[in-house]
Chain A
Amino acid sequence: MKKYYLIISYIFLLVISTSLAFLPVDRFEITDAFSLNFKSADPSGSFNKMEGTIDFNEQSLETSKFNFSIAISSIKTGNGMRDKKAQTEEWFDAKKYPNIKFVSKTVEKEDDLYKITGELSIKGTTKVYVVKAKKSGSGNTISFAGSINVNRMDFKIGKKSDVVPDIMKVSFNLPAEKK
């Protein structure tokens, strides 16, 4: 009897570990229909170029991962001069740091929202941010939407000023298609 227990536990562990090792990850790619806007008293605008992937498995959130890269060069504030200024060393220093990056560390479900904790890297500084997003869609097309407040002073973007507020509200809608 003991021998059977041994063989059963061996087979059980082998099946579990092999299934996990070959567990397919549902990978989605952000489509061009995304929107990424920032809003403050002044300025407001958007980023028009980003790429990224979402590894998302509702049944296994611990294996889910969000990974984005946003091109600084694609900033649009409705003022060409200001867009150019945003690229300079004082602001985003786009020459040295051409992209804003976000890589998630954990994904948890909180009521009907997903709480995504990850590292946001801007201008060579990385901070942990928690983003709450609402998921819509299913199957091959999903979408995550939400907003976060980003303190530009955390990343040394520009100088403290009475004209440009420190906090920028960033809202996003990220439609993604299965790869």
Chain B
Amino acid sequence: MKKTPLYETHQSLGGKIVTFAGWELPVQYQGVIPEHTATRTKAGLFDVSHMGEIFVTGPEAEQSLQYLTCNDVSKLYDGKALYSAILNERGGVVDDIIIYRYNKEKFLICVNASNADKDFAWFTKHNTFQAVYENQSASYGQIALQGSAAVSIVKKIPELASVAELAYFHFKEVQVAGATIIAARTGYTGEDGFEFFVPVACTVSFWNMLLEAGANEGLVPNGLGARDSLRLEACYPLHGHELGEDISALESGLGWVIKFDKGDFIGKAALQAEKTAGLKRGLAGFFVTDPGIVRENQPVFDAAGNQIGITTSGTKTPTIQKALGMALVHTSHTKEGSEIFIEVRGKKLRAEVVKKPFYKKPA
């Protein structure tokens, strides 16, 4: 099992350690509900050091990423980031990623913890361009600061204050205590905030610095449990749930990041054919209207009792305070107001398809 630089810090903060994607991380400290609520009302601090960092450099770095991922990398400029996905030939998702452009010949890719080695092997296998991929995951810790108080917290730290000027999905490097920190205005919670890539030697001190600066702002450490309930309320997909190698990226709802007009990329032909034929399934968000909680991998039926899909995620979330979830279902039942039935422990619970996302941060 791998440990992040913050392992002992989590223990001293009362973190309940579990194993996730081969890493030992806290699922919670004081509790999923108060942690989630703190992020929605003030701010939360997340150890996301298990995520992977792959650098791509070379004269054809952009072309390589254009071919190996589905979004249009040519739309990036220096200091801008882009959500994208690595697709396989069938149009399934190898991983969803964020690409950060330093310049035309240097990019950083943030990948899911569970897929870091797989993604690097995939890039290595399929890269036929004049570009070099380097897996630097072992060199970086990562910390996310999320919530409406995130900006006032960074402004308390002189060396970090300038990141408050970053626009959404932009990034820059800053020097903090002699170390180079990559700061990005990105996040996985549906709140404003930042994700910081920190060299492993400085991860603990950077965490403590943020925790101290946020002490009077209501900043609370958040474990994996709250990370999941927050992203679910915002309807952000999770690989292994809404996204997978055997699920069409279009069915998963990634159509908005698949750019068919940009030139060839792995998965383009399969998805183009699917688009022409018409999608069979879609990702629906739902509220459970019968008493009960729905989770992932539970079969979904129509009113006549035919199975029409499967759930991908679900729980009762702290802010929305309803049993809700997402499911991959036949397109006949993806429209708002559709009635579906989800089988939980042998009992069918009625649910209603609703508009996504469940939660949108106040303007």
A is bound by B:
no
Interface residue ranges, B against A (CB under 8 Å): none
